[in-house]
Chains A and B, each alone.
Chain A
Amino acid sequence: MENLIGLLVVAPLLGAALLLCGGRRLDKSGHWIGTLLAAASFVIGVVLFADMLGRDGEQRALHTTVFSWVPVGGFQADVGFQLDQLSMTFVLLITGVGTLIHLYSVGYMEHDEKKRRFFGYLNLFLAAMLLLVVADNYLLLYVGWEGVGLASYLLIGFWQHKPSAATAAKKAFIVNRVGDVGLSIAIMLMFTTFGTFAFGPVLESAGDAGEGKLTAVALLLLLAACGKSAQVPLQSWLGDAMEGPTPVSALIHAATMVTAGVYLITRSGSIFNGAPDAQLAVVTVGAVTLLFGAIVGCAKDDIKKALAGSTMSQIGYMILAAGLGPIGYVFAIMHLVTHGFFKAGLFLGAGSVMHGMNDEVDMRRYGGLRKYMPVTFVTFGLGYLAIIGFPGLSGFFSKDKIIEAAFAKGGTEGWILGGAALLGAAITAYYMTRVMIMTFFGEKRWQPDAEGNAPHPHESPRTMTIPMVVLAFGSVFAGGLFSVNDAFLKWLEPVTGHSHGNSPVSALTVTAATVVVLVVGVALAWFQYGRRPVPATAPRGSLLTRAARRDLLQDDFNHVVLVRGGEHLTRSLVYVDHSLVDGVVNGTAASVGGLSGRIAKLQNGYARSYAVSMFGGAAVLIVATLLMRAV
């Protein structure tokens, strides 16, 4: 069984290699090869899952060391895999949703010339993401971490002929680098503290390290998580990342990669448990981001950017839960899985709408689409109900638990976090209802595109609708299934641990409050967008709206503080570089070059002078040997 874990990663990696190196021969069949290998990985995942269920809670983890890469003294860098319940959850989510989105892309990318390369990148992403979650040490995790970053960069910029896409890809990459530096330093710190990278020894002995060190490591891990999961203050790339093809937004920038930060924090639970200050930072980041994303989501007219704001906000919930410690880990992951279903479904729905509307993304030019795209409408609608936490659907179960857990944190903190989470739920209901109404209800506000083609909305092909239907099932039932008998809690508890905390408010009260804010949010949106016609051009709006449209001025802030500051720093460094460093480097290079030319002159092509040099060399060798003895 252990050997299968490696295969999990190898299958999509093979796909990536085939598709990226295979050349034009595979243009016709490439997308199916990619999809099949993703599906193969999913099947392997299911086999491993079935095998895991056959064992008891504590014995479920599988572990295997494939080989050791350059062991040097105390430095042991192993390529090893670990598959426990936490990794398993991710494996099923990544391969399951991943396969569906491969299938969807077959239809969505049908007319794209670079289709083969697209599927190659998707497979590369799957391989890297799977490596990230099945690695048994932080160094290998880092390989996967960088791998998904690369795949994300390649896919955001997939339509690189658009300058906006190329810029967005670059932005995502650079912002992510900031987080990656955090992770790499965290790994180095870990190595100096624990003498190893492996999860087992690091996490077991985390308690022995001082709190100061743990806090430092934990804050650096948080920085990494902020980058990959688009949390404040490294959130600015996610909105722009929507320049990528929609399946990419669904798979990478909603369902899987952006949740890697949550995985990292949950996986490193015992480090965070020993660093309460870092945990406070985590919950703060989570709470701020969940409100930030939600507010941005309210103001966007671009359907994908509205959903991106929502993703940011939902991951905020997860980070918040993960920051709560053992009270929250399980619920963070549970929300992550249910979110994986409904957010992927929503994005695929958005893609389907765009597909039928000549790639229009402005919701003010949609309207009344429910009659024209019934399947999209129903699946999108179910995803909508799930994300706002409609009682009985997936999102309700997972989000409600997080809000409860936030209150259970206790003290003023608990009230603040719980309040923020509740407020977030209300805003979520508001902006998602807004998206729903502007897209599918009201009168038609369609406009011809730049080339004058009037849109003819139509339902998408089967390859696109089937994944949407499957994901809709997940959006509806996953949460309920997880909550029967606390099934998910019992599944993950052996890995993450769990404690109930003591909530100042009863679970029932929280649930009631959640439902109340939900109704308020939906009603507000209905009054604003359902009752009145939606203007085809956006009104000026209040100061907050205008700020939210500009992503709450994130880019302006970054520009003024980081870019300007960075430019000044660069200029001064360039000065030093030119005058000092280059002087030394060029001087060295010139002297090496000069020396090289002079020595090369000895190589004059005459065998006689070569012989003389050999003779001289022999003489020196002998004299030196004799001298050594004499000395």
Chain B
Amino acid sequence: MSHAASVHSLWTLAADPPREIPAPHIEYAQLAPTLIVLGGAVLGILVEAFLPRRARYHAQLLLSVVGLAAAFAAVVALAAGGHAGEKARIAAMGAVAVDGPALFLQGTILLVSLIAVFTFAERRLDPAAHGNRVDSFAAQGSAVPGGEAEQAAVKAGFTTTEVFPLALFAVGGMLVFPAANDLLTLFVALEVFSLPLYVLCALARRQRLLSQESAVKYFLLGAFSSAFLLFGVALLYGYAGTVTYSGIAEVVSGTTRTVDPALASTMGNDALLLIGGALVLMGLLFKVGAVPFHMWTPDVYQGAPTPVTGFMAAATKIAGFGALLRLLYVVLPGMRWDWRPVMWGVAIVTMLLGAIVAVTQTDVKRLLAYSSIAHAGFILAGVIAASPDGVSSVLFYLAAYSFVTLGAFSVVTLVRDAGGEATHLSKWAGLGRRSPLVAAVFAVFLLAFAGIPLTSGFAGKFAVFKAAAQGGAGTLVIVGVLSSAIAAFFYIRVIVLMFFSEPKADGPTVAVPSALTSTAIAVGVAVTVVLGVAPQYFLDLAGQAGTFVR
């Protein structure tokens, strides 16, 4: 009987009209920047599939540049339309925030990526192989390094034009990352931008084994950290019964009291919140390269093709810190007293370790990697300020730092010897005598890294430390200034090496780049100087963009 009844109920359930599934409501206009970039990436794949090999390079370059520029225009239009201020909303059913910080960071990411694409497309630096112009990327990613297939690919003039759509996919993920307004979107965005980066890292034309090794390391450790992050997401869901930022924030602050019966035993359990929060934080700290989750940085920065390193160092940092800011300011403001001391520790260790280890580096790419770790620490100091000033100072710092980084790595691509880029510092001795302009430009970037006044580095560091000091983190500022002093040592040492050492007889030559890399470097210098001499307008801009929508 009971059996029959249950069968019956199954029948009747099946006979019932299906419950209506609400169609998601998507604000396409407000998501336009991301959609344009991802659309461009998809088109890029089609280009790879359908266009003849010869036409692909130009088509891809055009597509990427137009796509990124159009996306930037969309960001500007949104900001001008008030979406950075009074019209800031959470779009796409609560998944993506469109507000000041998101638009500012997206705009910066798009500009940086645009410049980075220029360096991707550079084809003048490597000598032509079999009459074909080549870029920094392997002829065929799947070919075994040094094998016959590779030689055949080189001979046939293959190039990996897939790097352009890969970069666009990564950019698409990075655009969502700082705007993600729930933990799942955050995770998906993280993977969307990480996976293409892993592949890009493996595609260096020279020193392919080193490049592949770096990619595998990056992938393994990235997967490891993603697992932590995902576990943190699960714990936070257990705590709050939701993955949206605002939902979690409400449970943290105690405004939500309704308990999901399925989660009755876990909801509101602070241990879950603390552990879950720490794990999610860890996932983000890994991406920005903070100590002790920084170990991948030097190896990957060194092994990846230099244009990719520049792109990664600049854009990933922006996206990562953007997401970190949103998480700390929107989800966890209620538990500021829990996360701040921990972040203090992370920031201090990051600043000091980055600066100290950089002192003994002998490879310019590794040096810049450690420098990026130290800078991550400086930016964390601004994050910890936990004030609107802190947010805007971090936004400004990210914009300033990313252009300097991109410019510096672009210069690294120019200094070459027979084996490709000459990244060992001893080879840079006397560069200022032989190529004064290139050395002077690199010196400008180094001074900006060191935070010398009249460069963007000074303005940024000043803003961040000021916000930190006002936020009561005086100790942090002192440590920051001390590590800046240590860092200044190795930046200036490179300048001394370039200008005051005798050039080596068999030293590297400086390749003359095409207009693409020249533009990238020129833009880097221009932004560095303008943000250094007249930072106020941009500080104001960052200040206006400093409010998160909740």
B299, A596: Cβ atoms closer than 8 Å: no
B132 at the interface (CB under 8 A from A): no
Of the listed stretches B62-70, B189-197, B355-363, name the one at the interface; the rest are far from the partner chain.
Answer: B355-363
Interface residues of A in 71-116 (CB under 8 A from B): 71-72, 79
B357: contacting residue among A79, A600, A614, CB under 8 A: A600
A629, B338: Cβ atoms closer than 8 Å: yes
B270 at the interface (CB under 8 A from A): yes
A69 at the interface (CB under 8 A from B): yes
B359, A596: Cβ atoms closer than 8 Å: yes
A613, B338: Cβ atoms closer than 8 Å: no
B536, A618: Cβ atoms closer than 8 Å: no
B486 at the interface (CB under 8 A from A): yes
Residues on B with beta carbons closer than 8 Å to the beta carbon of A597: 360
A610, B221: Cβ atoms closer than 8 Å: yes
Interface residues of B in 318-366 (CB under 8 A from A): 337-339, 341-342, 345-346, 353, 356-361
A622, B534: Cβ atoms closer than 8 Å: no
Interface residues of A in 574-631 (CB under 8 A from B): 589, 592-593, 595-597, 599-600, 602-603, 605, 607, 609-611, 613-614, 616-618, 620-622, 624-626, 628-629
A610: contacting residue among B296, B341, B534, CB under 8 A: B296
B295, A624: Cβ atoms closer than 8 Å: no
Whether A592 touches B299, Cβ cut-off 8 Å, given contacts A607-B220, A614-B224, is no
Cα A463 to Cα B536 with chains together (Å): 46
Residues on B with beta carbons closer than 8 Å to the beta carbon of A72: 462, 466
The B contact surface, by secondary structure, is: helix
Cα A79 to Cα B299 with chains together (Å): 45
B216, A68: Cβ atoms closer than 8 Å: no
Cα A614 to Cα B459 with chains together (Å): 33
B337: contacting residue among A589, A600, A617, A628, CB under 8 A: A628
Cα A481 to Cα B499 with chains together (Å): 55
Whether A596 touches B342, Cβ cut-off 8 Å, given contacts A70-B462, A621-B281, is no
Whether A611 touches B274, Cβ cut-off 8 Å, given contacts A593-B360, A596-B357, A603-B295, is no
Whether A596 touches B338, Cβ cut-off 8 Å, given contacts A69-B536, A624-B345, A629-B274, is no
Residues on A with beta carbons closer than 8 Å to the beta carbon of B220: 607, 611
Residues on B with beta carbons closer than 8 Å to the beta carbon of A617: 282, 291-293
Interface residues of B in 270-304 (CB under 8 A from A): 270-271, 274-275, 277-279, 281-282, 286, 291-293, 295-296, 298-299
B271: contacting residue among A599, A621, A626, CB under 8 A: A626
Cα A503 to Cα B466 with chains together (Å): 58
B106 at the interface (CB under 8 A from A): no
B462, A593: Cβ atoms closer than 8 Å: no
Residues on A with beta carbons closer than 8 Å to the beta carbon of B337: 628
Closest to A21 in B: B437
Shortest distance between the CB of A150 and any CB in chain B (Å): 15
Cα A593 to Cα B271 with chains together (Å): 41
Residues on B with beta carbons closer than 8 Å to the beta carbon of A592: 356, 359, 486, 489
Whether A595 touches B356, Cβ cut-off 8 Å, given contacts A603-B298, A611-B224, A614-B224, is yes
Interface residues of A in 412-430 (CB under 8 A from B): none
Shortest distance between the CB of B289 and any CB in chain A (Å): 12
Shortest distance between the CB of A180 and any CB in chain B (Å): 18
Whether A67 touches B534, Cβ cut-off 8 Å, given contacts A72-B466, A596-B356, is yes
Number of contacts between A and B (CB, 8 Å)? 104
Cα A613 to Cα B349 with chains together (Å): 14
Cα A460 to Cα B501 with chains together (Å): 46
Cα A593 to Cα B489 with chains together (Å): 11
B535 at the interface (CB under 8 A from A): yes
Residues on B with beta carbons closer than 8 Å to the beta carbon of A595: 356
Interface residues of B in 100-119 (CB under 8 A from A): none
Shortest distance between the CB of A606 and any CB in chain B (Å): 9
Residues on B with beta carbons closer than 8 Å to the beta carbon of A628: 337-338, 341-342
Residues on B with beta carbons closer than 8 Å to the beta carbon of A626: 271, 274-275
B279, A618: Cβ atoms closer than 8 Å: yes
Closest to A610 in B: B295
Shortest distance between the CB of B107 and any CB in chain A (Å): 22
B537 at the interface (CB under 8 A from A): yes
Cα A607 to Cα B359 with chains together (Å): 23
Closest to B459 in A: A70
B140 at the interface (CB under 8 A from A): no
Closest to B537 in A: A67
Cα A613 to Cα B353 with chains together (Å): 14
B295: contacting residue among A67, A614, A629, CB under 8 A: A614
B228 at the interface (CB under 8 A from A): yes
Cα A67 to Cα B278 with chains together (Å): 43
Cα A579 to Cα B277 with chains together (Å): 52
B275: contacting residue among A603, A607, A625, CB under 8 A: A625
Closest to B341 in A: A628
B224, A625: Cβ atoms closer than 8 Å: no
Residues on B with beta carbons closer than 8 Å to the beta carbon of A613: 292, 295
Shortest distance between the CB of B169 and any CB in chain A (Å): 24
Shortest distance between the CB of B459 and any CB in chain A (Å): 7
Shortest distance between the CB of B389 and any CB in chain A (Å): 12
Residues on A with beta carbons closer than 8 Å to the beta carbon of B277: 625
Cα A70 to Cα B535 with chains together (Å): 7
Residues on A with beta carbons closer than 8 Å to the beta carbon of B295: 602-603, 609-610, 613-614
Residues on A with beta carbons closer than 8 Å to the beta carbon of B293: 614, 617
B225 at the interface (CB under 8 A from A): yes
Other contacts beyond A79-B534, A592-B486, A614-B221: 20, CB < 8 A: A67-B536, A67-B537, A72-B466, A592-B359, A592-B489, A593-B360, A595-B356, A597-B360, A603-B299, A611-B224, A618-B278, A620-B292, A621-B278, A621-B282, A621-B342, A622-B279, A625-B274, A625-B278, A626-B274, A628-B341
In the complex, 16 of the A-B residue pairs with CB atoms within 8 angstroms, ordered by the A residue number, are A67-B534, A69-B534, A596-B358, A596-B359, A600-B360, A603-B299, A610-B217, A610-B296, A614-B282, A618-B278, A621-B342, A625-B275, A626-B274, A628-B341, A628-B342, A629-B274
- Which B residues fall within an 8 A CB radius of A? 216-217, 220-221, 224-225, 228, 270-271, 274-275, 277-279, 281-282, 286, 291-293, 295-296, 298-299, 337-339, 341-342, 345-346, 353, 356-361, 459, 462, 466, 486, 489, 533-537
- Which A residues fall within an 8 A CB radius of B? 67-72, 79, 589, 592-593, 595-597, 599-600, 602-603, 605, 607, 609-611, 613-614, 616-618, 620-622, 624-626, 628-629
